[in-house]
Amino acid sequence: MKKVTLLKKYCLVGLAGIIAASAIGCTSEDINLDKDEVAEDVSSEESLKDEENEKVEDNAAGSTGDSSDSEDGKDESDANTESTEDADGNDDDTDIGANSRTAYKEFEDGTAKVKYVISDGDLFFNAEYNDPVFEEGEFYSMDEIIEACKELGQYNADGNPTITYTEIDCGDDCIPELYVDIQFGAASSLAMIIKEVDGELVLCYDELYGYRYMLEIGSDGTIEGSGSSAANIHSIKKAFIDADGNYIYYYGCTETLSLYNFSLYTSGVNEADLSTDGLDINHIGVDQYYFSEDYRNCDYFYHYFIFDDNYEDISTDADYEDSSEIKQAFSDAGVLPYTQDEIDEMLAERAEEVGYPGK
C-alpha cells in the first residue's frame, strides 16, 4: 500500500471623468454700409470683405483646434477610467483572506479565542474516552486549550508545548485556514484546524496523534492518518476539510498480514464465521476498506492477497477465480471479496462523490 507524502506548510468602480467637448461658435459682425458710401468708395468695401474673410478663416481654425482638444480630453478620461478600474480589481485580489489572516494572528498572539463546536471533525475533545472539558458554543484561548489537555492527561504541567501555526487552503478558494500543531512530547501531539467564519474563529477539526499513530496534514486540507494496533495489523485513513470547514471522511483501510486470529465482519460489529481449514494462513493478507469512522455501523469491503516470506505480493488472476479456495472460504462466510482493480474503481467513485482534493 503506497504511502502518500503530503506537503505540510502553508472593483471600487472608478469614477469616470466626463469632459464635455466645447464647440466655440463663430459670430460674424454685422456690417451696415450706406449705399452712397459704397458707391463712392469701392476700395473701402473690398477692404471690409477681406477683413470678414480673415475672421471666418480664423474662427474655422479655432473650431478645429477645440475639437481636437476635446478628443484628446476624452481619450485621457477613458485612460484614467481604465486605470482606476484596474486598480480596483487589484484591490479585490489583495483583500481576499485578509480578515481571516488578521483573526488567526490575534489567536496566535493570545488576543482572540476559538469557538468550540461538536462536529464530525471533533475527534479528540469529544472522544468517548475523554471527559467533557469544553462547552459547545463557548470560546477558548490557546492557553485554555492547553490547560484542557492537561486535564485530559495529555500534557505534563511542568513542561512547555511546542506550537506551530501554518496557513493552509482548504477547498482551494484562496481563503486561508489555520493549522495548529501542538507537540506535548515525543509520544503525544494535537492537530487542530481553525476557520474564520463571519468574524468568528471556529474549531473545525481536532485529533490526537503520536504513539503508534501518525498524522499528515496537507496544504490543501487533506488529512492522512496511519498507525498499527499490532505487528501485523496496520491502518490508514484519508479525510479532508472542505472550503466551508466541514470534516469529510474519504475512506479507511485496515491491512492484516496472516489469517491467524483474523476476524471477518459482514458489517459493523457483525462477525462472520471464516473457515481457514486447508489455507496457508501465514501467507494470506486481507485489506478491509470502509467509508465511515463509525465502526459499529459501517459496511466493509474486502480484498485478499498472497505474499511470500519477504512480504511481497505474489497474487495471480487465478487466486480470484471462483475456483480459488480463498475466495470460496470468503463466499461461504457470506462475504464477497473484491479484486484490487475493483477496489480502485470503488475508491475513485468515492473520491468523486465526496470531492476529495488529494490523490
Instruction: Dump pLDDT digits (tens) for 2-17.
Output: 333 333 333 333 323 3
* Tally of domains within the chain: 1
Residue span of the structural domain in which 196 resides? 97-213
Q: Does a structural domain hold residue 26? A: no
d(CA 184, CA 100): 27
pLDDT of res. 94: 59
Within-domain flag for 131: yes
Residue 180 lies in a domain: yes
Q: How far apart are the first and last CA of the chain?
A: 13
Rounded to whole angstroms, the Cα distance separating 257 from 235 reads 12
Checking if the pLDDT of 19 tops 80, the result is no
Band of residue 358 on the pLDDT scale cut at 50, 70, 90: confident
For residue range 252-288, what is the model confidence (pLDDT) as tens digits? 999 999 999 899 998 899 999 999 999 999 999 999 9
* Percentage, residues of the chain above pLDDT 70: 73
**Which grid coordinates are listed for 92?**
479585490
Helix (H, G, I), strand (E, B) or coil at 17: coil
Confidence of residue 37 (pLDDT cuts 50, 70, 90): very low
DSSP notation for 202-253: EEEEEEEEETTEEEEE-TTSEEEEEEEEETTEEEEEEEEE-TTS-EEEEEEE
272 in a structural domain:
no
CA distance 319 to 144: 56
pLDDT the model gives residue 82: 44
Q: How confident is the model at residue 58 (pLDDT cuts 50, 70, 90)?
A: very low
